[in-house]
Amino acid sequence: MKLIVSKYLGYCFGVNRAITALFKTIDEQPDRKCYTYGPIIHNKRITDQLTQRGVAVIDDISLAEPGSLVFIRTHGVSGSVLQALKDRGVEYMDLTCPYVQKIHNVAKSTERLLMVGDIHHPEVIGILGDAKGDYRAVTTLEQLRTVLREHPDFSYTMVAQTTFNMELWLEMKQYVESFRTVDGVLLDGENFPVSPVTICDTICHSTSDRQKEVEKMAKDCDYIVVIGDKHSSNTKKLYEIAKNYCSACYIEDVTELPHYLSEYKKIGLTTGASTPGSTIEEVINTMMNENNNVNLMEEDIDFAAALEASLQVTRVGQRISGTIGVVGTNEVQVELGGKHTGFIPASEFSEEELATLKAGDEVEAFVMKVNDVEGTVLLSKKKLDSIKGFEKLEAARDNNEILTGTVSEVVKGGLVVYVNAVRVFVPASLASLRKDTDLETMKDQEVRLRIIELENAGRRKRIIGSIKSVLKEEKDAAQAKVWESIEVGKKYDGVVKSLASFGAFVDIGGVDGLVHITDLAWTKIKHPSEIVKEGDNIEVEVKAFDPETHKISLTFKKANEDPWMILPQKYEVGDVIPVTVLKLMPYGAFVSVIPGIDGLVHISQIANQRVEKVGDVLKVGDEVEAKIIEIDYDAKKVSLSIKATLPEEEAVEESDAAEEVAAEEVVAEETAAEEAVVEAEAEASAEDGSVEE
């Protein structure tokens, strides 16, 4: 059995913040009478632990003794409840999840609230209790349609319960976003007049991430184990998503773990946002003990108790280290080991970095903003990267070090390159070895450069880099290395730099050589692009070179692919072979023998009877059998006969020997003419200096 463990386990940020603060407070005030207004979270184990510590759960404010302390549940309450506690002389600690509190703030400021969620859930009850004006609550798309079509003259602000099903929420958003205005009237997709809606995305990123993760796991596993309290809304939704794709169970603790799990090959495990680590550890340990072959596919889970909160004060401007807790769509949660939880915007990470980030990874960031009320710290990885990057650039300038960066944009006068998260300007004159280089082709490319100027005047930084100096140095070194060791017959791995009608220029390590069109293939080609294209990596061999003129002649043809070396291994005189007619001439037909070699069937060898016109008997594309009657390896000619494969008939007229001789002379003249053209092109390319360093 293989066990796939979700990367989102245990408490979410809001729950962890609440539980940590609650237990810390009752530890510091052991003799004080304390209550929780409603279960602090939906988890019986935590509720039982609090009961053992003398912390009672109440739903009636009159049960709280004056002077006592009441912990407000993470799901939140309305402002009227808080006022009632004050009026009774009861102190309270508001442990409402910051994400829930944001929805309360929206509810308090909007004239008409459209609440998407379970109207019986404590979170929704508290939010609606704070609604400034009218409100409506819906749980399905159909209910949403009904509400928005009732009073088209109304306008709503739409929010969602933090633990609402993401898939349903997206359907509702898509419905609203499909509205269009026709003749001043807002219509939905079915042309019904509807109310205008302002959408606020309020689903907790932790909820969203867990739902996406369990869907992904369920599609890949045979069975899913979901751990969490049966009253937990977010856990119930995880179970509902999982069972859409595979078998699943919903358990509160290890005592409910099914006994038949060993029947499944691949099991996934996930938890709700209010599931304690001790419960998760018990379940996993039991699964491992009952099946010794269990294989944890994700990183090992550390269930050790958290370290005591650090007393160090977090201040804006600090460099701070922490451990990644949750990687969300919009932000990355960072556990700082103290009373604060940090958040880094996901946009500050590259797609590659986000794909590899996981819970437990160490991260360092710059403190941008501290919110002691919500217990959050806004962090910036980019800011710290920029500071560190500038320090590295200073050192690199002093040491004449070569750096690597990425061209982010082409601007007037040059390029902008980001090196160590710092903006470096490279003037056009220092961007390439060639003045006519199209700078647009360098965008998004990785480049090597040196820092030649660097000024730091407060917020204004002036950093100038040079790509050209690095390229020049590298080219000089590469060319020297090539010319030191070059010799005829030596092979190089080269890159095709450009194509011309007469051949291809290939870079063999800082030096360009020419592969003439006749040296690209053993077969005849009309243009080099039939064989290679710019950017191709090819192996070439040196045919000749001139150190004084710095000209190098290369060949791409492989000796073992020479068709005249292959032919004797395959055929010999007297063999009857299948051929295809390639070209018709007055004196005969050229046919294929093997790739790279064509043969001639003379007109006198086409049929038993006299043939006046080749086209009367054969046409291009015909597939026939022919007998090899002669192979001239010196002249590189093959003669064949179709007639020799035909049944013998009555003797025909004596062949015209003079005509056959004349045909061979024509073929020889054509071959000589072709070779003369090739030689002329090669000489022309050499004379115009095309093959230079």
Q: Which positions are catalytic? A: 123
Q: Residue 122: enclosing H or E segment and its boundaries?
A: helix 122-129
Cβ neighbours of residue 169 closer than 8 Å, sequence gap 6 or more: 116, 160, 203
What is the Cα–Cα distance from 340 to 374, expressed in whole angstroms? 8
Phi-psi region of 117 (alpha: psi -120 to 50; beta: other; left: phi over 0): left
Sheet-wide strand order for 197-199: 134-138, 112-116, 156-160, 197-199
Cβ neighbours of residue 142 closer than 8 Å, sequence gap 6 or more: none
What is the Cα–Cα distance from 450 to 399, expressed in whole angstroms? 10
Q: What is the total residue count of the chain?
A: 693
Phi–psi pair at 39, nearest 5 degrees = -55, 130
Q: Which residue has the tokens 């095709």?
A: 496
One-letter amino acid identity for 598? D
- C-alpha separations of 271 from 91, 279, 522 in Å: 33, 10, 66
CB 32 within 8 A of CB 69: yes
Enter the tokens of residue 178.
């499909």
Residue whose C-alpha is closest to residue 107's, from 135, 81, 80: 135
Q: Kindly tell me the burial class for residue 155, based on how many C-beta atoms sit within 10 Å of its own C-beta (0-12, 13-18, 19 or more).
A: middle
Cβ neighbours of residue 375 closer than 8 Å, sequence gap 6 or more: 17, 21, 98, 339, 340, 341
- C-alpha separations of 686 from 76, 501, 519, 553, 693 in Å: 84, 14, 15, 10, 13
Name the β-bridge partners of 365.
Answer: 320
